[in-house]
Amino acid sequence: MAAFKIKHSITKRWLLNSLGIVVLVLLIVVVVAVIIANSYYSTTARRYLDSRMENITLDLSKYTTASGYRAEVRNIIESFTDKDKYELMAISSTGEITLTSSGFQPSSSLNMSDYEAAKTSKEGYAWAEFTLPSGEKVLSYTVMLSGIAPEYSAMRIMTTINAIDIQLLELGVLLSLIALAIVALMLFSGLYFVKSIVIPVRQISETARSYAEGDFSERIEKVKDDELGELCDAINYMATELENTDKIKNEFISSVSHELRTPLTAIKGWSETLCDMDNDPETFQKGMRVISGETQRLSQMVEELLDFSRIQDGRFTLHKETMDILAELEDAVLIYTERAKSLGIEMVYNGPEMLPFVYGDRSRLRQVFINIIDNAVKYSNAGGRVTVEALQVKSDVVILISDTGVGIAAEDLPKIKTKFYKANHTRRGSGIGLAVANEIVEMHGGSIIINSEIGKGTTVQISLPSL
CB 102, CB 89: distance < 8 Å: no
Domain identity same for 210 and 241: no
Q: Which pLDDT does position 3 carry in this prediction?
A: 42
Average pLDDT over the chain reads 83
Degrees, nearest 5: CA angle 263-269-271: 100
Burial 61-74 (b: 16+ CB within 10 A, else e): eebeeeeebbebbe
Q: Report d(CA 14, CA 191) in Å as an integer.
A: 9
CATH number of the CATH domain containing 348: 3.30.565.10
Query: Domain boundary at 136, 160, 184, which?
Result: 160
Of 125, 144, 160, which one is at a domain's C-terminal end? 160
Q: What is the CATH number of the domain that holds 144?
A: 3.30.450.20
Cβ within 8 Å of residue 299, ≥6 positions away: none
Within this chain, do residues 322 and 388 fall inside the same structural domain, yes or no? Answer: yes
Do 38 and 170 fall into the same domain? yes
**Better-scored residue on pLDDT, 339 or 14:** 339
pLDDT surpassing 60 at residue 4:
no
Largest separation between any pair of C-alpha atoms in the chain: 165
DSSP classification of residue 365 = H
Q: What pLDDT does 391 receive?
A: 92
Band the pLDDT of 324: cuts 50, 70, 90: very high
Same domain, residue pair 127 and 240: no
| Residues 6 or more apart whose Cβ sits within 8 Å of residue 25 | none
What is the extent of the structural domain holding 371?
317-465
Same-domain status, 383 and 456: yes
pLDDT at 409: 86
Contacts of 326 (CB under 8 A, 6+ apart): 351, 352, 354, 355, 390
Rounded to whole angstroms, how far apart are CA atoms 414 and 407?
14
Is residue 196 a contact partner of residue 11, using CB atoms and an 8 Å limit?
no
Instruction: Give the chain's end-to-end CA distance (angstroms, integer).
Output: 63
Residues 156, 166, single domain; the answer is no
Residues 289 and 276 in one domain: yes
End-of-domain residue from the set 259, 285, 311:
311
Whether residue 299 is found in the same domain as residue 242: yes
Residue 295 lies in a domain: yes
> 56 and 85: one domain?
no
CA–CA dist 50, 29 (Å, integer):
31
pLDDT band at 198 (very low <50, low <70, confident <90, very high): confident
| CA pair distance 234, 198, nearest whole angstrom | 18
Those residues whose C-beta lies under 8 Å from the C-beta of residue 256, and which sit 6 or more positions away, are: 301, 305, 430
Cβ(80)–Cβ(86) below 8 Å: yes
What's the whole-model pTM score? 0.48
Statement: residue 159 has pLDDT above 80: yes
Q: Over the stretch 58-94, which tens digit does the pLDDT of each residue have?
A: 888 888 788 888 888 888 888 888 888 888 999 888 8
Q: Give every CB contact of residue 273 below 8 A, 6+ residues apart in sequence.
A: 283, 287
Asked if 172 and 48 sit in the same domain, the reply is yes
Task: Return the higher-pLDDT residue of 419 and 212.
Answer: 212
346 and 237 co-located in one domain: no
328 and 428 in a single domain? The answer is: yes
